[in-house]
A and B are shown apart, each in its own frame.
Chain A
Amino acid sequence: MKTGQWLMAGAIATILLAPGCKPKGAQSALSGDAASKVYVAPGQYDEFYNIVSGGFNGQISVVGLPSGRVLKIVPVFSVHPENGWGFSEESKPMLNTSHGFIPWDDLHHIAISTTNAEHDGRWAFANANNTPRIAKIDLTTFKTTEIIEIPNSGGNHSSPFITENTEYIVAGTRFSLPTGDNVDVPIATYKENFKGTISFISVDQEHGNMDIAFQLDAPPFNFDLARAGKKKSHGWFFFSTYNTEMAHTLLEVNASQKDKDFIMAVNWKKAEEYIKAGKGKKIKSPYVHNVWDEDTHTAISTVREDILSLDPRELKDIVYFIPCPKSPHGTDTDPTGEYIIGSGKLAAIIPVFSFTKMLKAIEDKNFEGNIDGMPVLNYEAVLHGEVLKPGLGPLHTEFDGKGNAYTSMFVSSEIVKWNIETLEVLDRVPTFYSVGHLMIPGGPTGKPHGKYMVAYNKITKDRYLPTGPELAHSAQLFDISGDKMQLLLDFPTIGEPHYAEAFPAALIKDKQVKFYKMEKNNHPRALKGINDARVERDGNKVHVYMTSIRSNFRPDNIEGVRVGDEVYFHVTNLEQDWDVPHGFAIKGANTAELLIMPGETATLKWVPDRVGIFPFYCTDFCSALHQEMQGYLRVSPKGSNNPITFSTGVAE
């Protein structure tokens, strides 16, 4: 053959072989029995509850593991027309802030309550990133029962991490801000006027009620994530920081200049001592505190005026800085509490610090400098060792309780398993694509259940049937019980999951509330039976006291309402059985429906804007005669003299 022909043949061979040169996909990572490991047979239950943050949807989703099935969406910081959260008169105060009612937020992280560094499943806590708040979700009702606003904070990202007996939840500000009276300052005076606050929120052990115990006045860094010490390091808290350059513009470049930022170690027991000694300063910082009452089925929003501020520059031994390369994102403590791992997202290594060495360095005053008088510890003195060549873009680390750590790598899109003692990389698996947080059931606690691991990915692309430009975020479930991580399942998620936690289902499964007891319903406008159903006019306000029970509303014929009246439907669901909610909606109401659980009372406000007959009906298919569960309301012109009448007729 001539040279030209050889070249042609070579070209054809290259084209034919080309698909074989593509990198191998997930298919090759799957082994034969993966399906049976995630199959939960009909009527069977998942082994773990996975409480997953919804990110920009402001909700949390409850997912069963290993099936990956979504069990429930719990509205937290965002309105939820589906069940009237943020629309009913009772739930509106839950979304109140010092800025007024806010219908949305960005929910990033979950903290499940713990006792002795183990999940106890009493409550889940979640953060609002945009307008800083922390919410508490009751895990017997899967309902948000408390929201507390965090003053002097901007971007509540370093939150809500939790101490081993749920003593405190923390809220570190991502965006430092000027605080106090002097807030109208040039942005260029960042270094002088901005502060980074760290709030410690105490938790009442009986009811879970939250209170801001104190706020640390820290340097104006960006506080990213945090983790409490546990067991031997109980009493300490570790916060990752970036932008220790203290830049205020083009952070992408200006906050990425230093080789090392810090993990800020906080001795909160010491802070408690100072508070006892009266060293805190009360600072005026109004914030809002909202509590849901399960007996009145109503939220109450109150304003608190000030917080207790501690200045670690003056109050020595509360704050120490551990140098950590480079712009650390996650900081995590291992199940023994001895090791603190900093995941420098721009670093080529993963540093592992030793708590014992940290205490020794403090004792020996082995400092390499200070920040406004707060010691910076010597890096080498605190270092246990570095994980070499772990991958690119380490973000977060979880643990399996068998001496291994698992670190998510955003840039190289993989999870790397390594030994905490020897720092040796043991295994790595690809994720699809660009994993953010990862989660092992019990992973952040002293007792991880090292069976499964979930990767919550930031990029989805081609993982599922395409749905236009906007895609569901992807997650992957891995079996980590063996030496090698094994991909089991790929599933789409709700919203944009960031952090999640999981715990054994047995912890709360049998504690679930099935309905609210009628005799405990203390809603001021509740009805205990059908005989009290009525309509009352009070000026231009009309109160409809309504009952719903399969399959009727009482009253269901209402007349005498006028255009412009404020009509309040106070609907009590009289059912006392599991899974019999009733809904309520009326034509033209510019709110959402009510979805009322058995034994609950909820209120929908409606201002009729025109004359006519307005039907209302039950929106939850409750029974065989659900389609008959309806009523009519007549609206007459403004100034009409029609008296209020109402009825639920007898059979015709």
Chain B
Amino acid sequence: MEKLSLLNRLLVLTASCLMVAAYFTPLWQISLWAPQYPEGLNMKIWIDRLSGDVTIINGVNHYIGMKHIGDEMFPEFQYIIYIIGSIIVFGFLTALIAKRWALYTFFGMVGLLGIGVLVDMYLWGYDYGHNLDPTAAIKVPGMSYQPPLIGYKELLNFLAYSGPDTGGWILGGAATLVVLAIIIDFRNKSKLKNTLP
């Protein structure tokens, strides 16, 4: 059975459609709270840019020698739109041609995207938090300021949070649909084996 079921074709189609939201919604957010910022500072990461209180965060972070965050800091903004775009196009193709190999390739692409993004973010966060200006005004021995990959972390007087934003959650939902399609496909295959010994 090389053909995908109608249900799986619909799942892949829906997942691909959902992924389009990545172009119109923020994917990730980083928030900071401090006694002086009870209302919090919030930075949003979009597919090709940053928004939110970036300038204020830069102003605060320059004391400990962190780099100036800006769009130019992320070469990813130049090409990730094409990567996600290609995956979406492939998803539509998968729903159209309904081949099993296409579903598994699609699954692989989505999975690699997710892992790639997280690894990339970790590496950026490590560099941003550790690679500090040696002439910084405030130096705390042994202290680094790597933001959390996901979740909360205390950094000096700030509580930092990092996690998916609207677009990130939608992408997560799309990935779940693809996983669901894979599981359904596995079940169909084993049923087939049972009926045709």
Known: A576-B55, A576-B56, A577-B56. A624 touches B135 (CB 8 A): no
Which A324-364 residues have a C-beta within 8 angstroms of B? none
Q: B52 contacts the other chain (Cβ, under 8 Å)?
A: no
Closest to A43 in B: B38
Residue picked from B53, B59, B63, B137, most chain A C-beta under 10 Å: B59
Do A577 and B138 have beta carbons less than 8 Å apart?
no
Do A651 and B135 have beta carbons less than 8 Å apart?
yes
| A623: B residues at CB distance < 8 A | 63
| B135: A residues at CB distance < 8 A | 651
Do B63 and A575 have beta carbons less than 8 Å apart?
no
Instruction: For residue B143, give the distance in angstroms from its CB to the closest CB of chain A.
Output: 15
Closest to B41 in A: A577
Q: Interface digits, A574-592 against B, CB 8 Å rule (1 contact, 0 not)? A: 0111000000000000000
| B59: A residues at CB distance < 8 A | 549-550, 575, 577
| B137: A residues at CB distance < 8 A | 551, 624-625, 628
Closest to A578 in B: B39
Do A624 and B55 have beta carbons less than 8 Å apart?
no
Instruction: For residue B146, give the distance in angstroms from its CB to the closest CB of chain A.
Output: 22
The docked-state distance in angstroms from the alpha carbon of A145 to that of B56 is 29
Count class of interface residues, chain A: 10 to 19
Which A600-647 residues have a C-beta within 8 angstroms of B? 623-625, 628
The docked-state distance in angstroms from the alpha carbon of A454 to that of B27 is 53
Q: Interface digits, B100-142 against A, CB 8 Å rule (1 contact, 0 not)? A: 0000000000000000000000000000000000010110000
Instruction: For residue B174, give the distance in angstroms from its CB to the closest CB of chain A.
Output: 36
Q: Interface digits, A300-343 against B, CB 8 Å rule (1 contact, 0 not)? A: 00000000000000000000000000000000000000000000
The docked-state distance in angstroms from the alpha carbon of A68 to that of B167 is 48
The docked-state distance in angstroms from the alpha carbon of A575 to that of B59 is 9
| B53: A residues at CB distance < 8 A | 577
Instruction: For residue A582, give the distance in angstroms from its CB to the closest CB of chain B.
Output: 12
The docked-state distance in angstroms from the alpha carbon of A550 to that of B60 is 8
Contact of B138 among A549, A575, A624, A651 (CB under 8 A): A624
The docked-state distance in angstroms from the alpha carbon of A576 to that of B137 is 22
The docked-state distance in angstroms from the alpha carbon of A576 to that of B59 is 10
| A628: B residues at CB distance < 8 A | 137
| B56: A residues at CB distance < 8 A | 576-577
Count class of interface residues, chain B: under 10
The docked-state distance in angstroms from the alpha carbon of A10 to that of B135 is 88
Closest to A550 in B: B59
| A575: B residues at CB distance < 8 A | 59
Q: Is the interface of A mostly helix, strand, loop or mixed?
A: loop
The docked-state distance in angstroms from the alpha carbon of A625 to that of B55 is 18
| A651: B residues at CB distance < 8 A | 135
| A625: B residues at CB distance < 8 A | 63, 137
Which A253-278 residues have a C-beta within 8 angstroms of B? none
Q: Interface digits, B56-77 against A, CB 8 Å rule (1 contact, 0 not)? A: 1001000100000000000000
| B138: A residues at CB distance < 8 A | 624
Instruction: For residue A514, give the distance in angstroms from its CB to the closest CB of chain B.
Output: 10
The docked-state distance in angstroms from the alpha carbon of A625 to that of B56 is 16
The docked-state distance in angstroms from the alpha carbon of A389 to that of B135 is 79
Instruction: For residue B41, give the distance in angstroms from its CB to the closest CB of chain A.
Output: 9
The docked-state distance in angstroms from the alpha carbon of A576 to that of B55 is 8
The docked-state distance in angstroms from the alpha carbon of A261 to that of B56 is 63
Which B17-67 residues have a C-beta within 8 angstroms of A? 53, 55-56, 59, 63
The docked-state distance in angstroms from the alpha carbon of A380 to that of B78 is 86
Residue picked from A576, A577, A628, most chain B C-beta under 10 Å: A577
Instruction: For residue B53, give the distance in angstroms from its CB to the closest CB of chain A.
Output: 8
Instruction: For residue A547, give the distance in angstroms from its CB to the closest CB of chain B.
Output: 13
Instruction: For residue A510, give the distance in angstroms from its CB to the closest CB of chain B.
Output: 13
The docked-state distance in angstroms from the alpha carbon of A628 to that of B137 is 10
Closest to B60 in A: A550
Instruction: For residue A597, give the distance in angstroms from its CB to the closest CB of chain B.
Output: 15
The docked-state distance in angstroms from the alpha carbon of A624 to that of B137 is 10
Closest to A576 in B: B55
Closest to B59 in A: A550
Closest to B38 in A: A43
Instruction: For residue B139, give the distance in angstroms from its CB to the closest CB of chain A.
Output: 13
Which B84-98 residues have a C-beta within 8 angstroms of A? none
Closest to B62 in A: A550
Closest to A650 in B: B135
| A550: B residues at CB distance < 8 A | 59
| B63: A residues at CB distance < 8 A | 623-625
The docked-state distance in angstroms from the alpha carbon of A577 to that of B55 is 9
Instruction: For residue B158, give the distance in angstroms from its CB to the closest CB of chain A.
Output: 13
The docked-state distance in angstroms from the alpha carbon of A577 to that of B56 is 7
The docked-state distance in angstroms from the alpha carbon of A577 to that of B58 is 12
| A551: B residues at CB distance < 8 A | 137
Q: Interface digits, A541-573 against B, CB 8 Å rule (1 contact, 0 not)? A: 000000001110000000000000000000000
Instruction: For residue B63, give the distance in angstroms from its CB to the closest CB of chain A.
Output: 6
Which A218-276 residues have a C-beta within 8 angstroms of B? none
The docked-state distance in angstroms from the alpha carbon of A577 to that of B54 is 11
Q: Interface digits, A165-202 against B, CB 8 Å rule (1 contact, 0 not)? A: 00000000000000000000000000000000000000
The docked-state distance in angstroms from the alpha carbon of A651 to that of B59 is 18
The docked-state distance in angstroms from the alpha carbon of A408 to that of B21 is 66
The docked-state distance in angstroms from the alpha carbon of A625 to that of B138 is 9
Instruction: For residue B57, give the distance in angstroms from its CB to the closest CB of chain A.
Output: 10
The docked-state distance in angstroms from the alpha carbon of A628 to that of B56 is 20
The docked-state distance in angstroms from the alpha carbon of A576 to that of B56 is 7
The docked-state distance in angstroms from the alpha carbon of A158 to that of B45 is 59
> Can you name 14 A-B residue pairings with CB atoms under 8 Å?
A550-B59, A551-B137, A575-B59, A576-B55, A576-B56, A577-B53, A577-B55, A577-B56, A577-B59, A624-B138, A625-B63, A625-B137, A628-B137, A651-B135
- 14 additional A-B pairs beyond A550-B59, A551-B137, A625-B137, beta carbons within 8 Å, are A549-B59, A575-B59, A576-B55, A576-B56, A577-B53, A577-B55, A577-B56, A577-B59, A623-B63, A624-B63, A624-B137, A624-B138, A628-B137, A651-B135
3 smallest beta-carbon distances between A and B, as pairs: A651-B135, A577-B56, A625-B137
